[in-house]
Amino acid sequence: MVEEVIFSDIVRRGSDVISTQKLRYVTLPDDLAIRFHDGLTRANTHSHDNPASDSVAVPTPDEFEAHLKELDTLIADFKKAKDGAEAGRLQMRPKA
């Protein structure tokens, strides 16, 4: 999500290409940044390198499904915000 959605594929791991023209899409509104942070914090609670994960209950299938829906909604909201960012940066579009 960080590479593809938030940073619009500008920089990708394992690639030496930087697509600076895509900066016209980048935006990080506070509400989306906070939602991303909260979701990542929740996901990291269950990570393999977190000793506290041994004492945290695994989400139920319904909770997991709800988390996936939250992620889908967050991605859709980022895409809307990116469209708005690009609309305000028309001079940054590549020349045809």
Q: What is the DSSP letter of 40?
A: H
Residue 64: what pLDDT? Answer: 92
Token output for 44: 């990291």
Q: Where are the alpha helices (DSSP H) in the chain?
A: 30-44, 61-87
Residue 6's pLDDT band, with cuts at 50, 70 and 90, is very high
C-alpha distances out from residue 73 to 13, 21, 77, 93, Å: 25, 26, 6, 27
Using one digit for the tens of pLDDT, what is the confidence trace for 14-69?
Answer: 989 999 989 999 999 999 999 999 999 888 887 766 666 567 788 899 999 999 99
Q: What is the pLDDT of residue 22?
A: 92
The rounded mean pLDDT for the chain is: 90
Domain count, the chain: 1
What is d(CA 21, CA 49) in angstroms, rounded to the nearest whole number?
Answer: 37
Residue ranges making up the domain that contains 32: 2-92
| pLDDT of res. 42 | 87
